[in-house]
Structure formats: C-alpha cells, structure tokens
Amino acid sequence: MAQTERIPSRQTTAGKPTGSGPPGTVTDSRSSERSAGKPPSWWARARRDKILLLMALPGLALLLVFHYLPLLGNLIAFQEYLPFVPLGRSAWVGWDNFAVIFNGDAEFLNALKNTLLITLVQVIFVFPAPIALALLLNSLLSERIKRVVQSVLYLPHFLSWVIVIAIFQQILGGSGLINNFLREHGMGTIDFLGNPDGFIALLTSQVIWKDTGWGTILFLAALTQIDPGLYEAARVDGASRWRQLWHVTVPGIRGLIILLLILRLGDSLTVGFEQIILQQNLVGRPASEVLDTYVYNNGVLAGQWGVSAAVGLVKGLVAVVLVLGANKIAHIFGEAGVYKR
Amino acid sequence: MSAVQTGIDDGPGMPSRAVKGVVLLICCAVVIIPFIGVIATSIASQEHVTNSGGFVLWPDGLNLDAYKAIFNGGVVQRALLISVVIATFGTLISLAGSTMLAYSLSRPGSFGQRPILMIVLFSLLFSPGLIPNYLVVKEFGLLDSLLALILPTAISGFNVIVLRSFFMGIPDSVLDSARIDGAGDFRIFWSIVLPLSKAVLAVVGLFYAVGYWNAFFNAMLYINDTAKWPLQLVLRTYVINNTELSSGDLGGASADQLPPQESIQMAILVVSLVPILIVYPFLQRHFAKGMLTGAVKG
C-alpha cells in the first residue's frame, strides 16, 4: 500500500527549487486529498523520501565524521592532552594553551611572520601570473597553437608536490642541471635549495611553475564572455590596444579577479604546507616555519598537542573571519563576492 | 584583419607577435624540459649519467636497468601496488558516496535537503585542522590502516556540488516518465541518471583518483609502518631526501649490478608520473567544463 501511495508530484509540480520557498510549499496532490489541503506532514515527507535519505547517508556520514567531528577535537586546545590518556579524561587548563599566541612566543611569532610574508609575496607575484598568461593566450590568433600551449601548461597542476619538488631538485639541486653547467664552465655553484634567504623565492617559483597554467582557465572563460562589440566600438573611437585592455578587458574580468582575490585572502594563513614540510630540513625551521608546520612540528612530532591545537584553532577561526570579511568588502564595492547576501 | 575578433589583438605587427611567440615558447620549455630530463636520466647508460653529474637532458640509448631494479620485488614495487589499490578503491568509495549524496540533493523539495546542503556547503568554508583530524583518525583506530588514506578525504564538497549541478540539469520529464513506469528513487538514479552522467562521472572520478594518487601528507601522518607506504612517501624518502636504496630495498639484486642511484631515482619518478600522464589528455579535455560548472552554478 505504501508503494501505491508514493507521490510522483515531488518532481512534476515542485519544479526547480526556488531557494526561498519554505519546505511546506511542496504541493502534493495525493496527500493533499487525504489531509484536506494541508501540506504533507514532516513524517510523511521523511517516509516519502526515505530512499533519497538513505542514499545521502554514506556521504553525509563521512563528511560529518571526518569534517565536523574533528571540530569537537578542538576541545583539546583547552586541555593538557596526553596521547595515552583517553580523550575525555585529560585535565582542563582553560586558556593556558593559548599563551603562546597572547604572550607572543618567539617561535610562534616567527611562524606567523613567515606565513604573512609568504602570502604577501605570493599575492604580488603568483596571483597576477595567470591573468597575464590568460591575456597572452587570449590574444593568440591561432586556436591550434593556443590549445597546444594550454595542454602543456596545464600539466604540472596534476603533479603532486613530492614530484614537483623532486623535479626542482634535479634542476636546481647541488648536482642538478644548472649547477652541473656552472661547474663544467668553471663557475661557482649556487645553493638554490638550502639558502634560507632565498626560500620564499624558491617557494614562489615552484607555485608559479605548478599552477599558473591551470589558473588561466577561469580567466580565459571570463575573457570569452566579453562582448566583441565593445572592442569594435573602442577601436572605432580610436583606442589603442593598451587602452582597449584597460577599458574593455580589465572591467570584463574585474569581478572574477576580485572573487579569486577574496578566496586567496581567505587563505592568507594557509601557505603550501606539503610544499614546505618537504623542503624544511634543507633550509631549517627558522626560515621556513609557517603556522601549519608549526602545528605539525610542535604537535604531532614534539607532543605539545594542546598548544598546537590552540594555534590551529585560532588559525581556523581567523581564516573563516577573513573569508567572510573579504566577502563583505567585495559587497561594499558592488561585486558579487563568493556568495550572495 | 578578420571581421570578428574576440580579443584585443588588432592586427599587431610582426614584432609584437614574435615577442608573444617567444614568451610562450619559453613558458612551454620551462615546463617540458624537466620532464624530458627525468625520463632521459632514467633510461640513459650508467657512464652517461655519471659523466654528466647525475642528470642528463637526452639519453644516449635505451637502458632499462633502473626499471628492472625497481620492479625486482622491492619497496618501490610494493608501494606502487599500494598506491594503485588506494586510488582504485578510494575512487570507487568517493564516487559512490558523492553521487548518491549529490543525487539526493538534486531532487527538488526532498525531505531534509536544505540542512544537508548546508552541511556540504559549510564544509567548503573551513578545514577542521591537523591535530583534531589526527585525533579522530586515531580514535577510530585507523592509524597504520590504508583506510586512513581513503575515508577522511573521500567526500569533497566541491565535487558533490559539481555533480549536483549536473544532475539538476537532467530534464524532469525524463525522470518523471521513469517514475510513472514505477521506478523508485534508487532505480532512477542507477538506470537513468548515472548513464546520462558518464562524462561528469569520469571527470569527477579522475579528480578523486588523481587526488588519491598524489596524496602525501596524510600518509606521512597516519602510516608509520614502512611496509604500508604509498608511492609518494617512497618518492620523498628515496628521491627528495636522497636515502640510498640498498640492494635489499630493491628485492635483493646484488649491489655491484645496481644502476646509478640517480637513474633509479628518476625511474621511480617516472613510474609515479606515468598514471597522471596517461589520464592527462582526458583530464585536460573535460576538466575545464567540470571546473566551470562548479564555479558558475555552485
């Protein structure tokens, strides 16, 4: 009987979700006959959609267990956590673990400084790279050359950081391509990989190598959306190519640039964790420690679980605030932002 | 000059075009040359590699000793097997979980859709943090288990949204006709929605597969037992950290027969690159579409 009472109207009459209508507005011809025009009850709808709910369950459970349950694990930021004491039995220590942040522990401040410095350098050098490359690709007349170049430049994005760094070692390492060349020609070798002063430049060049090509995709898509008539009109008005770039192209992709910049700023405190941890032993911790490696080195390796969790928690909270704040600023400037208000 | 132009390019003179060509050529060379060098070093002869200081840009022949060494039953072969197993099962688990979740979120007005969608979307906004993640994996007894490399990253909210947008684009009339014929939700999903979504399934599946293949840090964090190391960890230990591969690590080949370490290292690198290169043409053709669907409709 339950089968025959199945309600086909969920799809036929509800149509696309409006996003604003309350759940009760789902019209439901069969059940409304029974319940005199009232929307189906909570329980009736749950029963009607039980298969859908069951289908959602495995994915939802994985997300809850491995993405939301760890949020509870942040409680150890307020505990004196020892790995062999059961999770609930650790002593509560209030805000003690946050002392490194509030009192400005030197190691923590160094990690924070490096993180912000790397973010700053990457916003200046890494962020514009795909825009420039996309403009260059977009101005190519031959579709075929464009496609070949794209195929080549997208490739590094799919490689792991382990592979990228191994490749960089072959080129820049002590017995790598460039130093071999220098040695053969009687010149001194350059220590690219172990030089603390050059570490940020090294990181930045690796990110540019890996992700610039991939980063062009969204910009290329946005560039094709620009009305060719605008260029036409600009040319008729005698605009030079640079003025066309400034008055037609840039406004055409401004929204996207701001959107991506917001996402990048939201990630200000997250800088290439795998990339850095793989190369840290070559340059030493003072030059390469960032917040994420600080959490890993002090927590998992050195056993200061509570302190690391506290730093991680504050980092996570600040990151959420940054995304929301950046989005707000975008709205103020009249852009769409990451999501609608 | 062509009548319709999509870009700025207003018939530039030869110099401007030449500059563009040179810039793009350099960009491509910077990406391609290292790959050629890696492959060349893995197949060059022993003398050639040693004389060139450990890295060559062009091989002097085809010498497969390095590959024979790593496929002699040692650590590399075992790690390769583990990586293949993780990528295969991980992708299956990810696809099953993500498609079902996405489908249940794609049916308009279904029960509980709004809160579940919120849970998926909010997961994109924050990451729970390294220490709490570690504690959860530990509490579930997954340390040193290969499941620790699959389950925590099995569902990507972004991919769920991409799949959901695609499923929502399937015309209601198609699904309704099946419903009138008496098909239930799962039947519709399995026999109608999935076959209509092969392209997006392939793209999302490959994204998951590449993610599993490339994952390095979770393995470093959760797997202490070197016998369970995936390829990326082996790569870090023996290539990046330059730990010497003994003959024991290579399945007991006698030490004096071993090809130079550099060749073996590059052979390991090539082995870990090959699967990516194989799926790359496909990724490259379809991913942009998937990316844009997610970006526009997400």
Integer Cα distance of A90 and B136 in angstroms: 16
B72 CA to chain A: closest CA distance, Å?
A: 23
Mean pLDDT of A61-72: 92
Q: What per-residue confidence (pLDDT) applies to A339?
A: 53
pLDDT at A7 over 60: no
DSSP bridge partners of A91: A80
Write down the pLDDT at residue A37. 58
A290: chain B residues, CB-CB within 8 Å = none
The Cα B174–Cα A236 span in angstroms is 49
- Kindly report the average pLDDT of chain B as a whole number: 84
Distance CA A290, CA A274 (A): 11
- Contacts of residue B146, Cβ cutoff 8 Å, sequence gap at least 6: B82, B85, B86, B223, B228
CB contact under 8 A, B128 and A154: no
E-only strand ranges, chain A: 79-80, 91-92
DSSP at B236: I
What are the tens digits of pLDDT across the range A203-246? 999 999 999 998 898 888 888 888 888 888 888 888 888 888 88
Beta partners for residue A80, in sequence order? A91
Choosing among B93, B100, B107, B110, which should be mutated to test the A contact, i.e. which has the most A CBs within 10 A? B110
pLDDT tens-digit profile of B35-51? 998 999 888 888 888 77
Task: Tell me what the mean pLDDT of segment A147-170 comes to.
Answer: 91
**Separation between Cα atoms, residue A112 and residue A162, nearest integer Å:** 25
Stretch A57-85: mean pLDDT, rounded?
86
CA B243-B249-B254 angle, to 5 degrees, is 110
Position A329, amino acid: I
Using CB atoms and an 8 Å cut-off, which of residues 108-167 of chain A contact chain B? 133, 136-141, 145, 149-156, 158-163, 165-167
CATH class of B73-298: mainly alpha
* Residues 36 through 75 of chain B touching chain A, CB cutoff 8 Å: 37-38, 41, 52-55, 57
- Band (pLDDT 50/70/90 cuts) for residue A338 is low
Residues of chain B within CATH 1.10.3720.10 domain(s) are: 73-298
Residue A247 touches chain B, beta carbons under 8 Å: no
* pLDDT score recorded for residue B14: 60
**pLDDT for res A75:** 82
Higher-confidence residue of A85 and B278: namely B278
Buried b (16+ CB within 10 A) or exposed e, B109-121: bbbbbeebbebbe
Rounded-to-integer distance, Cα A247 and Cα A26, Å: 47
Confidence of residue B88 (pLDDT cuts 50, 70, 90): very high
Q: Which of B241, B226, B232 is nearest to B269 (CA)?
A: B232
* Interface contact B275, partner A, CB < 8 A: no
For CA atoms A144, A146, A147, A151, give the dihedral sign.
Answer: positive
Give every CB contact of residue B42 below 8 A, 6+ residues apart in sequence.
B66, B67, B263, B266, B267, B269, B270
Phi first, then psi: what are they for A142, rounded to 5°?
-90, 120
Interface check A35 vs B, CB under 8 A: no
Residue at A315: amino acid letter: K
Which of B63-77, B139-153, B281-295: highest mean pLDDT?
B139-153
What span, in angstroms and rounded, lies between the C-alpha atoms of A90 and A86? 7
State the number of CA atoms in the 13 A half-sphere of B247 facing the CB. 8
Contacts of B176 in chain A (CB under 8 A): 8, 11-12
Which pLDDT belongs to residue B297? Answer: 40
- Residue B4 — very low, low, confident or very high, per pLDDT cuts 50/70/90? very low
Q: Are B150 and B228 in contact (CB under 8 A)?
A: no
Which residue(s) pair with A79 in the sheet? A92
B184-B186-B188 Cα angle (round to 5): 70
Contacts of A8 in chain B (CB under 8 A): 176, 179-180
A281 backbone φψ class: left, alpha, beta (φ>0; ψ -120 to 50): alpha
Per-residue pLDDT, averaged over B200-226, amounts to 91
Q: What percent of chain A lies above the pLDDT cut of 70?
A: 84
The tokens for A121 are: 């350098």
Cα separation, B203 vs B206, in Å, equals 5
Tell me whether B116 touches chain A (CB under 8 Å): yes
Q: Which residues pair with A162 in a beta bridge?
A: none
Q: Give the CA angle between residues B29, A195, B273 to the nearest 5°.
A: 40
Q: Which domains does chain A have, with CATH numbers?
A: 9-78 (no CATH), 96-332 (1.10.3720.10)
Give the one of A66, A73, A141 whose C-beta lies nearest to B152's C-beta: A66
Give tens-digit pLDDT for A272-315: 899 999 999 888 889 999 999 999 999 888 888 888 889 989 98
pLDDT category at A189 given cuts 50, 70, 90 is confident
Task: Check whether B15 has a pLDDT greater than 80.
Answer: no
Mean local confidence (pLDDT), B58-87: 88
Residues of B in contact with A155 (CB under 8 A): 31, 280, 284
Instruction: Measure the CA–CA gap between A325 and A161, rounded to whole angstroms.
Output: 30
d(CA B219, CA B267): 22
The pLDDT confidence band at residue B109, using thresholds 50, 70 and 90, is confident
pLDDT at B260: 82
Estimate to the nearest angstrom the gap between the alpha carbon of B97 and the chain centroid. 18
pLDDT 10s digits, A266-281: 778 888 899 999 999 8
DSSP, collapsed to helix, strand or coil, labels residue B93 as helix
Does residue A318 contact residue A269 with C-beta atoms inside 8 Å?
yes
Which pLDDT band, with edges at 50, 70 and 90, does A145 fall under?
confident
| Mean pLDDT in residue range B102-119 | 89
Nearest CA in chain A to B272: A163
pLDDT at A25 over 70: no
Residue A38 has pLDDT above 90, yes or no: no
